[in-house]
Amino acid sequence: MRVLLSGVAGFIGMHVAERLLREGNEVLGLDNLNTYYDVSLKQSRLNLLRRFKNFTFSEKDVRDNKNLSGAFDACEPDCVVHLAAQAGVRHSIENPREYVSTNVAGTLNILEECKRKTVTHLVYASSSSVYGASNDLPFSISSDTNHPVSLYAATKKATEMMAHSYSDSFGLPTTGLRLFTVYGPWGRPDMALFKFTRKILSGEPIDVYNHGLHQRDFTYIDDIVDGICRVLNHPPKERQDLLVSNSNPIISQAPFQIYNLGNNQPVKLLDLINVLSDALDLEVKTRMLGPQIGDVPDTLADITESIRDFGYSPETRIEKGVGSFVKWYREYYDF
């Protein structure tokens, strides 16, 4: 396949591109290389991908419709994996317009190009944050998502609704993936595991919000990549004979689908810190704090539909995943 992948220099984007390239697909990767975090880390990810002859990189911003159109014309993609987004819950509180312009307007540009080129499948990243502060665990794809507690979550919910409108109006097959707390080698520096590791190795105390009592469905990067690549080969189809139910907002006659990609194994933050301490073989100094604005209490993915429809099967336990991250971190930063 020819795959256009936005956000290719990002954490998940790099890993997905590498998997697709190893499988023999042609990948045109787009990224604007913004300065939300260390650009040199993004460049290092790209250098890894440049080893493949079937990889092409183009520095483009999904918000720039003219340049995006040029990329689609150059690639003539069969499928699109749209991972470009402004990430970070807390950053969205301070920079709301950046999230609307990138996550909403940028996704609109992607949808327009997919429609223009009659792309056979658009797979895009949503987020577990759309479930808000619900205590109805595990989160099912049919759970209520109408009460986001951060603008980041609201923009992700918006992209799902936009995708449905294009699936319904133009027959564009779209699949949204609600990703649950992804971690692993080449991860994002603004994520808890990355920040904790850096501070522990430097002998600094780590800030533990909500006194470490909340739990997250930490999902290892290889399991997320496997899910994305599996679903890419399963575009949704129109289901005109389907009885649409108002009680299940995900059911649609359009070629539209939403899935959860998580580990289905929640881990308390305090337990994660203990696992990290063991992997580093270092004592951890903690500074216990209250909850942060925009944080949700707990997350846990119901992955029933992902297992049923495309054989999704997360396998990585937290001890193995954290160990792999620590090994990469020490090697990359020579620590």
The DSSP line for 285-315 is -EEE--PPTT--SB--B--HHHHHHH-----
- Among 132, 137, 180, 177, which Cα is nearest to 152's? 132
- pLDDT value for 294: 65
- % pLDDT > 70, the chain: 98
Does 97 fall in a domain?
Answer: yes
pLDDT level of residue 244 (50, 70, 90 thresholds): low
- Tens of pLDDT, residue by residue over 16-41, are 999 999 999 999 999 999 999 999 99
* Cα(233)–Cα(122) distance, integer angstroms: 11
pLDDT level of residue 248 (50, 70, 90 thresholds): low
* Cα(69)–Cα(313) distance, integer angstroms: 36
- Owning domain of residue 180: 2-184+219-263+301-314
Does 231 fall in a domain?
Answer: yes
Out of 85-89, 106-110, 262-266, 283-287, which region has the weakest mean confidence (pLDDT)?
85-89
Catalytic positions, written as ranges: 152
- pLDDT score of 172 more than 60: yes
Q: CB count, 10 Å around CB of 100?
A: 17
Q: What is the CATH number of the domain that holds 50?
A: 3.40.50.720
274: left (phi over 0), alpha (psi -120 to 50) or beta: alpha
Mean pLDDT over each residue of the chain, to the nearest integer: 94
- pLDDT score of 133 more than 90: no
Residue range 275-287: mean pLDDT, rounded: 96
* Cα(159)–Cα(256) distance, integer angstroms: 12
pLDDT level of residue 247 (50, 70, 90 thresholds): low
Does 67 fall in a domain?
Answer: yes
Domain count, the chain: 1
Q: Is the pTM of this model over 0.85?
A: yes
- pLDDT value for 304: 96
pLDDT level of residue 178 (50, 70, 90 thresholds): very high
- pLDDT score of 62 more than 90: yes
Does 124 fall in a domain?
Answer: yes
* Cα(196)–Cα(218) distance, integer angstroms: 15
- pLDDT value for 271: 95
Does 271 fall in a domain?
Answer: no
* Cα(134)–Cα(67) distance, integer angstroms: 40
Does 193 fall in a domain?
Answer: no
Give burial (CB, 10 Å; 0-12/13-18/19+) of 203: exposed
pLDDT level of residue 89 (50, 70, 90 thresholds): confident
Does 206 fall in a domain?
Answer: no
Does 205 fall in a domain?
Answer: no
